[in-house]
Amino acid sequence: MMAPLLPSFGHCSRHFGDSGPAGPDVQCHMADAARYHRLQLLLTLLGVGLSIAYPLALVLTGGGHGLAGWAARVSSARWVQVALVALALGAGHAALTLPLKMIRGFWLPRRFGLLHQPMPSWLGDQLKAAVIVGVLTLAAIEIVYALLVLTPLWWLVAAAVFIAAEIAMTAVLPIWIVPLFYRLTPLADRGLRDRLLALARRAGVAAVGVFVADQSRKSRTANAAVVGLGRTRRIILFDTLLSEFSPDEIEAVLAHELGHHAHGDMRRGLLVNGTLTLVTTGLAALCLELGVTLLGLAGPGDPAGLPWLALVTLALGLGQLPLTNGFSRWIERQADDFALATTDNAAAFVGAMERLAALNLAERRPSRLKEIFLYSHPALDRRIARAEGARRGASSGWDAGRGATADRGGVA
């Protein structure tokens, strides 16, 4: 059904710059990116619609009461009942959205040449991610329902627990999580390694080493990251970055990542996310009380209210998207400026952005509204224009009339 929409994808040169920065190769990539992101947007909106319709249907039909009654017949233990209802809800949502996930995450990227990972390997990654997310989500639900019984201020305690969990996850990410999806090996190029570690020292960021992730066995996309805290902090480069970018461009990409750590973006992010978490749990508490009246729940801690809680949480999360993405774009701009100041090489930064756009099939000119709601990074053209402005000695080279785009697959 979707095949007619994809008449000419995947014919662009894989290496950016073969035809120059304004040549046909760039125009080809832009055309492919526009088609790709148009389809991804349609699928995303459909997925959001399904995710809303699913708990809403359960709320309207009394499905939560049916699930809670079944769970009560299986076990008299309240925590088991909560787990059974949560698992049933999660399984239903996974089954409902699996076809879309397959199209968005596997079929479409593969059709456009972004992905070459075999399906069994891709499914394995999806299963591992689902288990991790499922375990964390189930733990969060159990914590909420346990606190509902213990204190009327459950939402305040829950917010504190979730913030602490976010800090812990940041620390263990490079040790426990990343190796589940990538093989990490120390960077063999000693000259480049020393250069990157020296850059980290100039940025005031201590890193325990530079590691290479084997992204090329899955996808052509390129990126870099500085992950972890304290003794777990390390630099991770995709092998695609090493093979497609010059050392100056790699340094520019890494300098952006180091900027996040130099600016304390984790602390700032925790402050913003913590505030939003507090607001979310507080509003969820009010909605659960409302659900007792509207839905005939036995109390806020009734497992039958889980579909209602899921619907409320989803709605609050969607409502916060412009705020969280706006904050993210702000700190990303600051990280770009840090990279330009630290490397003093705007040409390398621009080259890196252009290569990332080509390799990651980044959309260069989506609507402003789309950027506000869906994109965590500033417009790619805006980022490049700022860098060009820095190269010319100007503070900004952006003309607001040119429109806006976002680089979802660029420097994180």
DSSP-assigned beta bridge partners for residue 271: none
Give domain status of residue 104, yes or no: yes
In a 3-state reduction of DSSP, which class is residue 385?
Answer: helix
Domain extent at residue 370: 31-182+262-394
DSSP assignment of 251-306, as one string? HHHHHHHHHHHHTTHHHHHHHHHHHHHHHHHHHHHHHHHHHHHHH--SSTT-GGGH
| CA 168, 143, 274, 377 torsion-angle sign | positive
Q: Give all strands of the β-sheet with 210-213 in edge-to-edge order.
A: 184-186, 210-213, 234-238, 224-227
| CA 58, 62, 68, 73 torsion-angle sign | negative
**Going residue by residue through the chain (412 aa), what tens digit of pLDDT does each one get?**
333 222 233 335 444 444 344 444 556 667 788 899 999 999 999 999 999 999 999 999 999 999 999 999 999 999 999 999 999 999 999 999 999 999 999 999 999 999 999 999 999 999 999 999 999 999 999 999 999 999 999 999 999 999 999 999 988 888 899 999 999 999 999 999 999 999 999 999 998 899 999 999 999 999 999 998 888 899 999 999 999 999 999 999 999 999 999 999 999 999 999 999 999 999 999 999 999 999 999 999 999 999 999 999 999 999 999 999 999 999 999 999 999 999 999 999 999 999 999 999 998 877 889 999 999 999 898 899 889 887 776 444 444 333 333 334 344 4
DSSP-assigned beta bridge partners for residue 219: 115
**In the prediction, which pLDDT does 173 show?**
86
Strand stretches in 150-199, DSSP E: 184-186
In whole angstroms, give the CA distance from residue 324 to residue 272: 8
Give domain status of residue 271, yes or no: yes
Give domain status of residue 331, yes or no: yes
**In the prediction, which pLDDT does 401 show?**
34
Instruction: Give the residue from 140, 108, 121, 125 showing the smallest Cα distance to 35.
Output: 108
Give domain status of residue 220, yes or no: no
Give domain status of residue 405, yes or no: no
CB atoms within 10 A of CB 268: 15
In whole angstroms, give the CA distance from residue 252 to residue 374: 25
In whole angstroms, give the CA distance from residue 135 to residue 176: 15
Q: What is the pTM of this model?
A: 0.86
Place of tokens 């509003």: 283
Q: Which two tokens stand for residue 272?
A: 């913003």
DSSP assignment of 107-145, as one string? IHHHHTTSB---HHHHHHHHHHHHHHHHHHHHHHHHHHH
Instruction: Give the residue from 29, 34, 35 showing the smallest Cα distance to 359.
Output: 29
Give domain status of residue 256, yes or no: no
Instruction: Give the residue from 136, 216, 219, 218 showing the smallest Cα distance to 176.
Output: 136
**In the prediction, which pLDDT does 231 show?**
84
CB atoms within 10 A of CB 264: 12
CB-based contacts of 260: which residues, under 8 Å, 6+ apart? 226, 266, 331, 335
Count how many domains the chain has. 1
Q: Which two tokens stand for residue 97?
A: 């959205």
Give domain status of residue 108, yes or no: yes
CA 339 to chain centroid:
22
Give domain status of residue 285, yes or no: yes
In whole angstroms, give the CA distance from residue 141 to residue 147: 10
Half-sphere exposure of 77 (CA within 13 A, CB side): 5
**In the prediction, which pLDDT does 402 show?**
36
**In the prediction, which pLDDT does 13 show?**
40
Q: Which two tokens stand for residue 368?
A: 């402003």
The helix or strand, by DSSP H or E, that contains position 212, with its residue range, turns out to be strand 210-213
**Helix, strand, coil distribution of the chain in percent, nearest 5:** 70, 5, 25
In whole angstroms, give the CA distance from residue 54 to residue 255: 43
Let me know: does 19 contact 29? Beta carbons within 8 Å. no
State the DSSP code for 176: I
